Every structure is written in C-alpha cells, then in structure tokens.
Amino acid sequence: MASVKLSGITKRYEDVTAVDDMNLEIEDGEFVTFVGPSGCGKSTTMETIAGLTLPTEGSIEIGGRDVTDLPPKDRGISMVFQNIALFPHMDVYDNISFGLRLRKYDQEEVERRVEEAADIVQLEGMMERMPSEMSGGQRQRVAIARAIVRNPGAFLMDEPLANLDAELRVHMRTQLQRLHRELDTTIIYVTHDQAQAMTMSDRIAVINSGVLQQVAPPLECYNEPANRFVAGFIGSPSMNFIEGEAVADGFESTYTDIEFDPDAQGVSPGQNVTVGVRPEDVHLERNAGEAGAPTKAFDAVVDVIEPVGKEVNAYLLFDRDVEASAEGRGEGQLLINLEPDTTISESDDVQVVLDRDNVHLFDRASGDAISHSL
C-alpha cells in the first residue's frame, strides 16, 4: 500500500497545457478516480504518476518517496490499460506469471502468487486457456491478475473497462470494488464515464481542461458541486440550468422567478447567476408534496416523453414559443423525472415546482457555486 502525492504537476506539450498545476494527495488504500471529458488531461496525469511521461513542473511522491525522476519499474506500481496487451502465444498462467519469471522469482513463489491472483479475479481452472479462447471480460481479468501478482503499492488503471460491452462493464465495476476491498491497495482509476466514477470510488477528482475542479466523495460532488462544470458533468441525466439575474427578492429569468433573500444566499441584486436543479428535484405542481420545500409553480408545456421503465423523463418547454434546441437542453427547456405511472402526454400544459432544498446557485461569470439550497 502506498500514498500518492502530486505537488504542482504541470505538463505542457508545445502550446497545449495538458495538466495545469495539479495538487492532490491520495491516501494509502484509497480508490480515487480521475474523471472528466475526453482530452481534459486524465491520462497525462496518470502517465506522470506511472513515470511514462515526465511532468514539465512539479513533483510526485509514492509512499512518501520522491519518484519524479524514477523509471516506471522502480515506482512500486502496476498498470492496467484499456487495450489489454496479453501475449497471444502464451496461456493464462504464463501471461500472469511473465513479470515474476522475468524478475527471477522462485518457482514456488510464482505459483503461490499466480494462484492467489487468479482466485481474486475468479480465473481458477482457466490457467491453460489461450487469450484467443477467452471473452473480453476474461482477458481483462487476466490483465488485472498480472498487475496483482506484482504486489504493487498502487494500481493505476486507465479506462480498463472501456472496450467491454455495457453489461460486462457493470459486472466488472462490481468486481473491481471487491478487488479493492480484498487487496486493500491504493487504486487510481481513469475514466470519462461518470457512472463508473460515482459507483466505485472513495473520492473522485473531476478534471476539466487540465485543471482539477473538485476532489470529494462521489455524493458530495453530486450534492454540493463546487462549480457549474462539476454540476453538469456529474449525474445522468444532467442538471438543468436556468440563466438569470439576482434581484431584490430573489432570482429572475426570462421564464421563471424564484423568491429568496439574496443576502442570505450571498448574492447581490444585479449579479448574473445560474440556477441549477437536477431532474429529480423538479416536480409537477399536483405532486408538490414530493418536494421538501416547493417553490411557487411555473407554467410549462410537455415537449417529449421518454419512458425508461423505472421512471419517465419528460422534456418540458417553459413556453410554447421556445424552440427546442437540437444540441442538448437549451434555454427555456427543463428535464423532469416522473414516477413511471404518471399520466402525462406530449403537448400537455403543466405546472411545475422546484425543490428549494436542492436548488443550486452559481455565479455566471466564474461558474463557482454560491449555494446548494434556497
């Protein structure tokens, strides 16, 4: 087990700053996930920890030791990547034990470690299979077992489930959590998939454009996003945003107004603010009891209804004149989650309320969160 500490890590490629002054301390045995959109710098950060690339500035400690200039093999880490590079001409046993044999471990020790790792990832009885005779998930488990046998201080995993189909991905998610529990080892995991980040991690590190946005337990990022980026990235379907302005008695926008005391919320009249509300925190006025503290009701029109089984997603327009944007939810559009048996039809006129306890306010200029409850 090892802690990992990044101090002022910056990585520049000519005119691209892939990672910008990243500071992060990962505790011994912690499962931390780097999450963010494609190109935000997740892999580059991971590569600096692994030693596959040198940071332009900053230092890295693993287990309290400065490893900034050490080659990957001397850092006490194991890596698992998206592209599972198994040796095609070797069976499972030889693939898993390859690194140990290379390092001249004695036969008994190799067998013991391979058996233990195979047991953890449930590959017993498959030692003589060739990679070509295995499914994607089984091959990925071989790759993980190969990382386990090295008994590393930390595992670095970069999108290890990206090439698996959806069902297998969910299954492997559970497996990885078990693995973490059993090994009690530090895991640093990279994914662009916020669902993976939310379900597996002790903490998630949300990155955008090379900059760390928030490092916190998943539910804290969900319930108290540090800024508008985190609010929009974490959670699926994503949060609704309404652009407007703080006024003397609350918030005003083209289609809605919400009463609150600006002083108590820390906003000044005239300030450009964004209201954020998750689809599950919008309710039909006739079910206003579902909201802990409903706002006054707004008129809306039902645009599109999506039954997804356990719930219904309804896309609303604040006004019949609003043009539904083809590129995601635009101004004047609102997504609401409803119970599956809700009777509602496209083009219905409805009234909705927001749950004040879960209405977020963001400063429009900086994007920073101001408040998470009105």
CB of 205 to ligand ADP, least distance (A): 12
* Residue 154 in contact with ligand ADP, rule: CB under 6 A: no
Q: How far is the CB of 9 from ligand ADP (least distance, A)?
A: 12
Give the C-alpha separation, 114 to 69, whole Å.
31
Backbone angles phi, psi at 219, to 5 degrees: -70, -25
Is 157 a binding residue for ligand ADP by CB under 6 A? The answer is: no
| Closest CB 211 distance from ligand ADP, rounded Å | 12
Closer by beta carbon to ligand ADP, 53 or else 199: 53
CB nearer to ligand ADP: pick between 40 and 188:
40
Site string for ligand ADP, 4-43 (x = CB under 6 A): ---------x--x-x-----------------x-xxxxxx
Q: Can you read off the two tokens belonging to residue 192?
A: 């662009």
Q: Which is nearer to ligand ADP, 16 or 54 (CB)?
A: 16
Crossing angle of helices 166-183 and 107-120, rounded to 10°: 130
* CB closer to ligand ADP out of 13 and 87: 13
Q: Does residue 169 touch ligand ADP according to CB under 6 A?
A: no
C-beta of 140: minimal distance to ligand ADP in Å?
19
Nearer CB in complex with ligand ADP: 8/266: 8
Quote the Cα angle for 336-338-343, to 5°: 120
| Neighbouring C-beta atoms of residue 73, cutoff 10 Å | 11
The count of residues interacting with ligand ADP (CB under 6 A) is: 11
Given CA atoms 311, 234, 47, 104 in this order, what sign does their dihedral have? negative
Distance separating alpha carbons of residues 214 and 32, to the nearest angstrom: 12
Within 8 A by CB and 6+ apart from 180, the residues are 31, 187, 200
- Tell the smallest beta-carbon distance from residue 51 to ligand ADP (Å): 15
| C-beta of 9 vs 336, nearer to ligand ADP | 9
Q: Which is nearer to ligand ADP, 48 or 240 (CB)?
A: 48
**Measured from the CB of residue 83, what is the shortest distance to ligand ADP in angstroms?**
14
Give residue for tokens 């929009």: 232
Judged on CB neighbours under 10 Å (0-12, 13-18, 19+), 5 is middle
> What character string, x for contact with ligand ADP (CB under 6 A) and - otherwise, covers 38-67?
xxxxxxx-----------------------
Q: Which two tokens stand for residue 124?
A: 């017993």
Question: Smallest distance from the beta carbon of 158 to ligand ADP, in angstroms?
Answer: 8
Strands 359-363 and 369-371: antiparallel
Residue closer to ligand ADP by CB (options 40, 84) is: 40
Pull the structure tokens for residue 81: 């990547």
Closer of 38 and 345 to ligand ADP (Cβ): 38
Q: If you write DSSP's letter for every residue of 234-264 in order, what string do you get?
A: SSSSPPEEEEEEEETTEEE-SS-EEE--HHH
Nearest approach, Cβ of residue 194 and ligand ADP (Å): 13
CB of 233 to ligand ADP, least distance (A): 12
Residue 222 β-bridge partners: none
CB of residue 41 vs ligand ADP: minimum separation in angstroms? 4
CA distance 334 to 278: 10
Residue among 43 and 337 whose Cβ is closer to ligand ADP: 43
Helical spans, DSSP H, in the chain: 42-50, 92-102, 107-120, 136-148, 166-183, 194-200, 218-223, 228-233, 262-265
Q: Is 180 helix (H, G, I), strand (E, B) or coil?
A: helix
Which amino acid does the sequence have at 6? L
Binding site residues, ligand ADP, CB under 6 A:
13, 16, 18, 36, 38-44
